[in-house]
Amino acid sequence: LANGEDVRMSTSRRRYSAQFKDEAVQMVVQTGQPIAQVARDLGINEGTLGNWVHLWKQDHPDPEPEVTEFDRARMARIEAENRKLRMENEFLKKAAAFFARTQD
């Protein structure tokens, strides 16, 4: 550095109240806005807000939705259709290979 100057980054950290943190997190959680946008709007670091949101989500996990009888029946139909489509796909692959051999 010029003339032996000692330049140091500020090591002081901004402190935010619990209420501010909660309100910032709720802006992300309730509105669905991106963390980066909310952080810019509030004038805080994106990583800081991201950490707050991450901690909030750990403390407030989404409840697992209950699987209804309708959902079970729908899943069974989808799985049966998937099995049928796989079998048809395998058959078509074998047929294509057979016809490719007989074309020579």
The residues, any chain, with a CB within 8 Å of residue 35's CB and separated by 6 or more, are: 28, 46, 49, 50, 53
pLDDT tens-place string over residues 25-73: 999 999 999 999 999 999 999 999 999 999 999 999 888 788 899 999 9
* Cα within 13 Å of Cα(7), Cβ side: 3
Q: Is 73 helix (H, G, I), strand (E, B) or coil?
A: helix
Distances (CA, A) of 23 to 8, 14, 36, 89, 98: 33, 17, 15, 53, 66
> What would the two tokens of residue 16 be?
């935010």
Global pTM reads 0.52
Question: Quick check: 35 and 53 in contact, CB under 8 A?
Answer: yes
Is a pLDDT exceeding 50 seen at residue 1? Answer: no
Q: Which helix (H) or strand (E) holds 81?
A: helix 69-102
Output 8 or 89, whichever has higher pLDDT: 89
The confidence score (pLDDT) of residue 33 equals 93
